[in-house]
Amino acid sequence: MLEALKEEVYQANMLLETYRLITFTWGNVGAVDANRELMVIKPSGVPYAELTPDSMVVVELSTGRRVEGSFNPSSDTPTHRYLFNHMEHVNAVVHTHSRWATIFAQAGRGIPALGTTHADYFYGEIPCTRAMTKAEVLQEYEEETGKVIVECFSTKDPLAVPAVLVNSHGPFCWAKTAHKAVENAVVLEEVAMMAYHTVLLGSSDHTVMDQHLLDKHYLRKHGKDAYYGQH
């Protein structure tokens, strides 16, 4: 079942280790099938060295029921499911505890758009969610995490800013494919590191990049008039 998608999700999960976005098993990639009825996700707590495509777990998107796989799915499965069910153009989600992005999450701060590297991928600040309430944490924590992410994007386009920092937790990224979601996670970590040091070096009244420069760099790669790369 979904052999090609399991291979894609497996390879994307392995890239998290290749790009040093994870420590131990602190991360996962999940993706939905073309009909948006099933999702494939990494198993919970299994060392990366032991993973194979057949280790990936198939879950029913509507119910969370495991339909194939010998392992339990990632504990973050309810978060992925909620995002897939409420962000219709998002087909893949990556969650890590990558160092620099998590620093911003722990500070409860978004990552401002300070330069063109950021603008090439994210059309403005990468937001940080509000802190979750005690009730949200103690009830359906992982699903509630998805809810605060969706709430954070109630007035934002999740494809224009394909990443978020969950307050006191860490980053989630997404895209239309698993490999692109990993690419976004790699860039997120890089711009988080750059932003941290830029703010550290800058004055207290340091402002974000000019809007016209942000527009130029984002829109030359995205949208109907994009001209970067081969067409």
Q: Tell me the C-alpha distance between 45 and 61, whole Å.
A: 21
Question: Are the CB atoms for 22 and 44 separated by under 8 Å?
Answer: no
Tokens 């409860």 found at: 108
Q: Tell me the C-alpha distance between 218 and 160, whole Å.
A: 9
Could you give the residue numbers annotated as active site? 120, 228
Q: Tell me the C-alpha distance between 17 and 192, whole Å.
A: 18
Residue 42 DSSP label: P
Q: What is the CA radius of gyration of the chain?
A: 17
DSSP letters for 187-213: HHHHHHHHHHHHHHHS-TT--PPPHHH
- Measure Cα distances from 169 to 37, 97, 101, 166 in Å: 28, 8, 10, 5
Q: Tell me the C-alpha distance between 25 and 48, whole Å.
A: 7
